[in-house]
A and B are shown apart, each in its own frame.
Chain A
Amino acid sequence: MNNKMKSIPMSVATFIISLTFLHGLAFGSNLPPVKGDVLPEIKIPVPESAADRSYLGLESGEFFKMPQLKAKVVIIEIFSMYCPHCQREAPEINRLYSIIEGNPDLKSKVKLIGIGAGNSSFEVEVFKRKYNVPFPLIPDEDFSIHKCIGEVRTPYFLGIKINDDGTHRVFYSKLGEFKGAEPFLDLMLKLSGLKQEM
């Protein structure tokens, strides 16, 4: 192999190594979770509000992990106070909460939680007050949770199924596509398998 020929694989190798290393450096090696994944280790601040803690079945403390929640299905919305789609959809997502809470078969099994990407406590509170959001909204001021789940655009929805043995799986992970409370809930129940269990 002459020198010119040798330099081609060298360049390719340099490219691949650089790409792999830098992609990890730039993106923290995190891509959005896909169906069947377990969630990355995310430490989520325990809500300050006693009502929110009671809804999620949490004791007071500093952080919790999603599978700790006393629920079979957790729907997570990654939102931002600054996101026009999130603002527009807020009333419909509140309605999703009301439908779940109004159904005795679902009330204790399906929980909703919002994570405010890059939002401070103040900003999350502004959103909560503006749209009378009845479910817990968690600030993620430094984007640390947002980075763990692949720096998704907003609004982004994750569906998590928590099994009786404490294990969990992501069954839904998508940007937007919230086409109304009823069809979305139906989709969540179907994809999580909860519909078949009921």
Chain B
Amino acid sequence: MKKHGNLIFALAVISVFLWSATAFGLSDVFKKNIYNPGILKPTDSVLKVKVGDSAPDFSLPAVSGEKFSLSRYQGKKNVVLSFVPAAWTPVCSDQWPGYNIVKDIFDSNDAILLGITVDNIPTLFAWTNQMGNLWFSVLSDFWPHGAVADRYGVLRSDGVSERAIFVIDKKGIIRYIGVGDINKRPRLEILVRELERLEK
């Protein structure tokens, strides 16, 4: 019995350390306010759309107070949807600040970026304020909870979204879907390559 007790204790210690062991290279801008969820299952959902489909329209509130629908860009702009799982978590907090310095790349490909999470507006407000002035809009898919993420098939079983990128052309057709390992930041060059393939 005692042996089992020791074994359980050792396993508990193992789990604590394995869950905290990830190199994020996280920016000090967030200080110690980042919650570390540990290593998560890389993906946990099934896509409901595919490349070549019309992108499902949606209307979501933004941190700015505006409402954004996808259809407003049809015939005008290419659109990148960047779903990130959750505010105040390690990889997500270091993804959008990178996009914030490449507006020129989006502009040259006649594209706009919409960042989406399932967090509510006050949380997104506080979190994105740490990133500086973002040039792109951040939308809340909080209520009905994760409905847009679910419509695209990127809502995980625990209620957060995948780390997913959808590139949608001016006709409203999905041209690229990237659902990566939630624990890793997608390479910028992959998104840039897909943007450069679009008709301008």
Q: Which residues of A contact B (CB under 8 A)?
A: 3, 7, 10-11, 14-15, 17-19, 22-23, 25-27, 78, 80-88, 117-118, 120, 122-123, 126-127, 130, 143, 146-147, 151, 153-155, 175-176
Q: Which residues of A contact B21 (CB under 8 A)?
A: 25-27
Contact status B188-A120, CB under 8 Å: yes
B43-51, B53-61, B93-101, B149-157: which lies at the interface: B93-101
Contact status B29-A85, CB under 8 Å: yes
A18 and B15 CA atoms in complex are apart in Å by 11
Given contacts A84-B27, A85-B29, contact A15 B188 (CB under 8 A): no
Between A23, A82, A117, A153, the greatest number of chain B beta carbons within 10 A of the residue's beta carbon is seen for: A82
Q: Which residues of A contact B10 (CB under 8 A)?
A: 14-15, 17-18
A166 and B109 CA atoms in complex are apart in Å by 50
What is the total of A-B residue contacts with beta carbons within 8 Å? 114
Interface: B20 (CB within 8 A): yes
The A interface, classified by DSSP as helix, strand, loop or mixed, is helix
Contact status A7-B2, CB under 8 Å: yes
Contact status A175-B28, CB under 8 Å: yes
B184, closest chain A residue (CB):
A118
A177, closest chain B residue (CB):
B28
Q: Which residues of B contact A (CB under 8 A)?
A: 2, 5-6, 9-10, 13-14, 17-18, 20-21, 23-29, 94-95, 97-98, 100-102, 130-132, 185, 187-189, 192
Between B2, B28, B102, B187, the greatest number of chain A beta carbons within 10 A of the residue's beta carbon is seen for: B28
Can you show 23 pairs from A to B with CB atoms below 8 A apart?
A11-B5, A19-B17, A22-B18, A23-B17, A80-B25, A80-B94, A81-B188, A82-B95, A83-B25, A83-B29, A83-B97, A84-B132, A85-B27, A87-B97, A117-B23, A118-B185, A120-B188, A123-B187, A130-B102, A143-B23, A146-B23, A154-B26, A154-B28
